[in-house]
């Protein structure tokens, strides 16, 4: 019985390219909210945090690449794997800069304090390993 149910769901949902598209659209779209915030409010606060840690403040402008340019590239399927890698690096830097003290903490509802950061990091890595799939706005497979 369970085998039949599983086979039915497999037949109905065996669409890996649609799954890749859904992942890219969701992931890139949600990350764009973070980029939009930085576009409106600037990255001066990030530059300040970097300078406090002895790093050059201009690195803060990388947030625009990691949270606006790269997510748009992931959404449209343009150089998806390198763009996802950039997002992963952006998430590592952001976590080390802002949330490193929360590694062993939980939120008030019992969730891991870094679950959002982990979800974005691992989602970026998943997209990097999966690639864009066939549903992209970019037709040249060398640029997907």
pLDDT per residue as tens, the chain (144 positions): 888 899 998 889 899 999 999 999 999 999 999 999 999 999 999 999 999 989 999 999 999 999 999 999 999 999 999 999 999 999 999 999 888 889 999 999 999 999 999 999 999 999 999 999 999 999 998 999
pLDDT of residue 16: 95
- pTM of the full structure: 0.92
The tokens describing 55, both together, are 């790093």
pLDDT of residue 1: 81
pLDDT of residue 113: 92
pLDDT of residue 134: 95
């Amino acid at each position: 019985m369970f085998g039949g149910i599983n086979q039915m769901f497999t037949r109905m949902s065996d669409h890996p390219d649609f799954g890749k598209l859904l992942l890219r659209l969701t992931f890139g779209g949600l990350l764009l909210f973070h980029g939009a915030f930085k576009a409106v409010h600037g990255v001066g606060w990030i530059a300040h945090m970097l300078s406090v840690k002895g790093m050059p403040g201009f690195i803060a402008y990388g947030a625009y690449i990691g949270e606006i340019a790269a997510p748009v590239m992931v959404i449209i399927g343009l150089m998806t794997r390198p763009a996802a890698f950039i997002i992963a690096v952006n998430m590592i830097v952001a976590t080390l800069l802002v949330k490193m003290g929360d590694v062993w903490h939980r939120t008030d509802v019992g969730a891991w304090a870094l679950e959002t950061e982990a979800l974005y990091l691992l989602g970026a890595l998943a997209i990097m390993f999966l690639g864009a799939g066939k549903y992209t706005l970019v037709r040249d497979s060398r640029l997907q």
